[in-house]
């Protein structure tokens, strides 16, 4: 069977060239006679891999020298706990912007550790928009403000980031990191699971400003302390070595594409193509507010559950996979991360048009 277009929200489609390179080096990495999967994380060969991976991420995101790049396990979900464990102080609080399922989970975990409050929410309209923030609520007791830059399930994104002044802005950027150019210096901490735009599952990237490290309580678990990773260059214990290697290959691919600026233009072209098809349709629609639309995750639906199910089934027969929407939203969802070629989006639009011709 040939390759299909994989519209999964994650783990996501990878470039064929990255898969082929990994396949080529699977049995013997650079003629070392062993796979990266077999290689000691203490070896000089793996040290070069992790250093190269960090170098590429820094270059592509233009990360200032005052930030550290950490390679951690546990997914973005572990960061829901690590962030408050490391940043919340006695007597302080955190503000969360509630924009969907993942921000709700982040807030829930933070409340187990300290005081976490909602700064703004779009729950009143089923998370179909990004709410305005009242930054006047931030005060000297606010330890950080947390946002989810892109809402994978609901299909919204922050098109501009709040200026939180001296209070660190913390971002879960799992589903749109490296999809657009960002000024990293606006953030105190960025974290992202790798399985969308950074590689494969099993790895989480944390970008943290140096002055936010090392202020935790003495009794915090070792593996939940960012300082453990900074002091040991993310090699305190065995990291997800193969996942880091795949991230290196993917970052090399992104650099070959022209970097983040080039991929941003491509992502906008892909998203505009699909949004136009939805807008022009008499069958499909989207509830997401136009100004807050995601470039990465695009939910759409018909008024019929039967038609939605039929669409997903027939799309798969045409090589368009993983288009079923999340159960909390319903309908369909196309995730079009960096590695999704524009040909995949065109194929989806063509199928949508043909499906509508048959069923309207």
Q: Is 238 annotated as a binding residue?
A: yes
Give the residue among 81, 136, 90 at the shortest CA–CA distance from 115.
90
149 labelled binding-site residue: no
Give whole-number Cα distances, 52 to 74, 159, 171, 264, in Å.
22, 30, 24, 23
3 is in an annotated binding site: no
Query: Per the residue annotation, which of 143, 182, 196, 292 is the catalytic one?
Result: 196
Helix (H, G, I), strand (E, B) or coil at 337: coil
**Active-site position among 172, 270, 292, 324:** 172
**Tokens 């995730």 found at:** 335
Listing DSSP states for 166-189 in one string gives TSPEEEE-TTTTTSS---GGG-SE
> In DSSP terms, which residues pair with 155 in a beta bridge?
none
- Residue 145 forms beta bridges with which residues? 95, 169
| 42 labelled ligand-binding | yes
286 contacts: CB under 8 Å, gap ≥ 6: 155, 275, 278, 293, 298, 299, 300, 301
For residue 149, what is the enclosing H or E element?
none
The residue from 45, 47, 48, 102 that is catalytic is: 102
Residue written as tokens 């939805």?
Answer: 278
SS3 at position 215: coil
Instruction: Determine whether the annotation assigns residue 204 to a binding site.
Output: no
Q: Is 230 annotated among the ligand-binding residues?
A: no
The answer to whether 99 is annotated as binding is: no
- Tokens for 294? 């995601």
234 is in an annotated binding site: no
Q: Are 345 and 273 in contact (CB under 8 A)?
A: yes
Question: Residues 57, 65: contact at Cβ < 8 Å?
Answer: no
Distance between CA atoms of residues 235 and 223, nearest Å: 11
Q: Tell me whether residue 305 is one of the annotated catalytic residues.
A: no
Tokens coding 25: 């080096």
231: annotated active-site residue: no
What CA–CA distance (Å, rounded) separates 196 from 342?
17
Q: Is 164 annotated as a binding residue?
A: no
Angstrom distance (rounded) from CA 290 to CA 199: 29
Give the number of residues written for the chain.
360
Structure tokens at 80: 């829901």
Please enumerate, by residue number, every residue annotated as part of a binding site for pyridoxal 5'-phosphate: 76-77, 102, 152, 172, 195, 237-238
Please enumerate, by residue number, every residue annotated as part of a binding site: 42, 76-77, 102, 152, 172, 195, 237-238
Q: Which residues are catalytic?
A: 102, 172, 196
Please enumerate, by residue number, every residue annotated as part of a binding site for L-glutamate: 42
């Amino acid at each position: 069977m040939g390759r299909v277009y994989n519209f999964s929200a994650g783990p996501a489609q990878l470039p064929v060239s990255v898969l082929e390179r990994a396949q080529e080096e699977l049995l013997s990495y650079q003629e070392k006679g062993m796979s990266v999967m077999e290689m000691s994380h203490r070896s000089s060969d793996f040290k070069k891999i992790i250093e190269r991976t960090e170098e590429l991420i820094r270059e592509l995101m233009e990360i200032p020298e005052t930030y550290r790049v950490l390679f951690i396990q546990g997914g973005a979900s572990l960061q829901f706990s690590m962030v408050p464990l490391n940043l919340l102080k006695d007597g302080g609080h955190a503000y969360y912007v509630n924009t969907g399922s993942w921000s709700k989970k982040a807030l829930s975990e933070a409340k187990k550790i300290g005081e976490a409050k909602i700064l703004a929410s779009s729950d009143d309209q089923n998370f179909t928009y990004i709410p305005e923030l009242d930054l006047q609520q931030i005060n000297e007791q606010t330890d950080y403000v947390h946002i989810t830059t892109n809402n994978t399930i609901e299909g919204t994104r922050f098109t501009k980031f709040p200026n939180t002044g001296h209070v660190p802005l913390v971002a879960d950027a799992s589903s749109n990191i490296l999809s657009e150019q960002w000024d990293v210096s606006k953030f105190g901490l960025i974290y992202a699971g790798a399985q969308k735009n950074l590689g494969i599952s099993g790895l989480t990237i944390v970008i943290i400003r140096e002055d936010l490290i090392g202020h935790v309580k003495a009794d915090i678990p070792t593996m939940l302390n960012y300082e453990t990773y900074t002091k040991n260059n993310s090699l305190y214990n065995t990291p997800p070595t193969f996942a880091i290697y795949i991230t290196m290959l993917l970052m090399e691919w992104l650099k070959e594409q022209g970097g983040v600026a080039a991929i941003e233009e491509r992502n906008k072209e892909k998203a505009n193509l699909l949004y136009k098809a939805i807008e022009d349709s008499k069958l499909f629609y989207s509830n997401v507010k136009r100004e807050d639309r995601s470039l990465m995750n695009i939910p759409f639906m018909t008024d019929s559950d039967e038609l939605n199910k039929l669409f997903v089934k027939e799309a798969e027969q045409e090589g368009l996979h993983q288009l079923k929407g999340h159960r909390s939203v319903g309908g369909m969802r196309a995730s079009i991360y960096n590695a999704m070629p524009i040909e995949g989006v065109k194929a989806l639009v063509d199928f949508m048009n043909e499906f509508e011709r048959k069923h309207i």
